[in-house]
Structure 1
Amino acid sequence: MTYALEPAIATLIDELDAISDPTHRFEATVIVEARLDAELRKVRQRIAVELYDGGIRTYREVGSIMGGVTAQRAEQIAKGR
């Protein structure tokens, strides 16, 4: 994780911790987790598209860069699946 993201993550955690009611705090964490998951999927998709760059790299190479996923999975990520 890059150090530049640490303050943003710490702020988010502080905001969640500031919710006094544990039920509301839990609900907020569920919402944040779902939202982050959706947004991170979009980021991964953009990365896969950029790495593939019209065929400069193969999806096999893209998959390797993206943590060893298969070529098929790299293509699925690029297509938003």
Structure 2
Amino acid sequence: MTETLDAPIAAVADAVNAFSDPGELYRVSREAESRVTEGMRAIRQKLVLGLRDQGLTWRSIGELLGGVSPQRAEQISRGV
């Protein structure tokens, strides 16, 4: 699965690395990091909310996510 992520991640890194000004490169790299982080958070939140809508408990959701605590599963549902 990670192989399918290699190309898009490399494309983002290449786009960011195209900036030659050090200050701009730093700012753009931070912006890209922030946007990717926010996008992944939204994906996880949507996933957890969907599982909850299916009637799963926070404990069950946490187990499906690889051993996340029920409290953490609930936090993910709130976008935390």
Asked if Structure 1 and Structure 2 have the same fold, meaning a TM-score greater than 0.5 normalized by the shorter chain, the answer is yes
**Match for residue 38 of structure 2?**
38
Structure 2 segments unaligned to the other structure (5+ residues): none
- Residue number in structure 2 paired with 1:68: 67
- Give the TM-score normalised by the residue count of structure 2: 0.84
What is the total number of aligned residue pairs between the two structures? 80
Q: Which residue of 2 aligns with 1:12?
A: 12
TM-score (norm 1): 0.83
State the Cα distance separating 1:24 from its structure 2 match. Answer: 0.7
Give how far 1:60 is off: 0.5
Q: 1:2 to 1:51 in 2, by over 3 A?
A: farther
Q: Give aligned-pair identity as a percent.
A: 39
Shift of 1:76: 2.1
* Amino acid of the structure 2 residue aligned with 1:40: M
Is the deviation greater in 13-22 or in 67-76? 67-76
SS at match of 2:54: helix
Deviation of residue 50 (structure 1)? 2.2
Q: For residues 27-73 of structure 1, give each alpha carbon's deviation from its aligned partner in whole angstroms, at most 9, with x where no partner exists.
A: 10111111111111110101112223331x22111112223221122
Structure 1: which 5+ residue stretches go unaligned?
none
Over aligned residues, Cα RMSD in angstroms?
1.6
* Inter-partner Cα distance in structure 2 for 1:29 and 1:67: 30
List structure 1 runs of 4+ shifted beyond 6 angstroms.
none
